[in-house]
Structure 1
Amino acid sequence: MDRQPVLEGERLLLRPVRPDDWEALFAVASDPELWALHPAHDRWQEPVFRAFFEDALAKGGALAIVDKGSGTVIGSSRFQEYDPANGASVEIGWSFLARAFWGRGYNAEFKRLMLEHAFENVARVIFRVGADNVISRKAMANIGGKLTGETFVTDRAGRPVLHVIYAISREDFAGGPLAAR
């Protein structure tokens, strides 16, 4: 699976994150309100976001989300946890989007593009969402994500944070709210 494709939708272009995307992505990420309910609530701080950005470049799979109308980078997402040996699933996550684009269908558009690409290669896509992140949990329900009952605990800002796992199967996606009609 190509984890750094170029994907194009009606309003968005997704392309691999490059080192020169630092300024544009930090300009989006430096909004503290963006992270207020997120488990990594301190990601708006430059050293914390710098580590996040460097991790994205090192691991690959990171995509810049570009508004086609303005050419502006408005966020990012990643394909992670892909195991080419079994190829059964991939994770979509580490997503953030400028608040000016919230509630206007941009999240659904970039997730649809990523899901369409993923399902060319895998049968299942998973999403790890902070258990207390009500905004992301609502967004997952809106795109057809189903709670799996699985959980994951990670350290965020020096404390353990519980994540719940959502999944979308290829079959559920084909008949779900994001499928191309």
Structure 2
Amino acid sequence: MKFSIQPVLENEKHQLIPLQQGDFESLYKVASDPEVWSQHPNKDRYRREVFRTFFEGAMESGGAFKIIEKSTGEILGSTRYYDYDKQNNSIFIGYTFYGRKSWGKGINPQIKKLMLDYIFQFVEVVHFHIGKENYRSQIALERLGGQKIAEQDVAYFGEPTRTNFVYEIKKENWL
């Protein structure tokens, strides 16, 4: 089935808008806080040159978004769809980050719901890579119903390989 991994998605409060080259500076403003990356596998993404590589990977993925707060137009962070597997009818969601002012406000579950509701129209399984030390994201995904199914070394675009847990949510369990 043909579908887009970079549609515009929105709810009452937030929009996911396809990431564009011109978004680098405004997204880097959010990403330049070292605390944002403290539990992520690659903790130095707050550095401009490291974030530039992350951003290039986002652009090459063809599935990256900026997360916008509709009432202010402010960029809150970024997320993406990636690694669509037609044979296994699955896709990954990940590379998600938010600025600290968005933490603890229930934004991530709302964004994941938007993404899952959309993508489950086209796939049966969604996977997530989560760094083995990223406890905040592990808890958040388990609250959404994600099940840890594997441990995997992941080579991020232009970055060193890191150990991640693989979580999954199946369409039958989501709907």
Task: Give your verdict on TM over 0.5.
Answer: yes
Q: Could you tell me which residue of structure 2 aligns to residue 60 of structure 1? A: 62
One-letter code aligned to 2:151: T
Q: Could you tell me which residue of structure 2 aligns to residue 4 of structure 1? A: 6
One-letter code aligned to 2:167: Y
Task: Give the secondary structure class of the aligned counterpart of 1:86.
Answer: coil
**Over the residues paired in the alignment, what is the CA RMSD in angstroms?**
1.6
Matched, 1:141 2:163: no
Q: Could you tell me which residue of structure 1 aligns to residue 121 of structure 2? A: 120
Matched, 1:168 2:157: no
Judged with a 3 Å threshold, the aligned counterparts in structure 2 of structure 1 residues 159 and 54 are, in CA distance, closer, same or farther, namely: closer
**What is the number of equivalent residue pairs in this alignment?**
172
Q: Could you tell me which residue of structure 1 aligns to residue 107 of structure 2? A: 106
Provide the rounded CA distance (Å) in 2 between the counterparts of 1:61 and 1:123. Answer: 18
Judged with a 3 Å threshold, the aligned counterparts in structure 2 of structure 1 residues 160 and 2 are, in CA distance, closer, same or farther, namely: closer
Provide the rounded CA distance (Å) in 2 between the counterparts of 1:36 and 1:65. Answer: 20
Task: Give the secondary structure class of the aligned counterpart of 2:6.
Answer: coil
What percent identity do the matched residue pairs reach? 38
Judged with a 3 Å threshold, the aligned counterparts in structure 2 of structure 1 residues 144 and 46 are, in CA distance, closer, same or farther, namely: same
Provide the rounded CA distance (Å) in 1 between the counterparts of 2:34 and 2:45. Answer: 8
Structure 1 residues without counterparts, runs of 5 or longer = 175-181
Structure 2 residues without counterparts, runs of 5 or longer = none
Trace 1:3-152 onto structure 2 (pairs within 5 A). 3-83=5-85, 85-86=86-87, 88-148=89-149, 150-152=150-152
Provide the rounded CA distance (Å) in 1 between the counterparts of 2:47 and 2:160. Answer: 17
Judged with a 3 Å threshold, the aligned counterparts in structure 2 of structure 1 residues 2 and 87 are, in CA distance, closer, same or farther, namely: farther
TM-score, length-scaled by structure 2: 0.93
CA drift at 1:92: 0.1
Q: Deviations over 1:115-171 (max 9, x none)?
A: 0111010000000111111111111111111111x1211357976521111100111
Task: Give the secondary structure class of the aligned counterpart of 2:169.
Answer: strand
Q: Deviations over 1:80-121 (max 9, x none)?
A: 0003x4261000000001111111110011110000111010
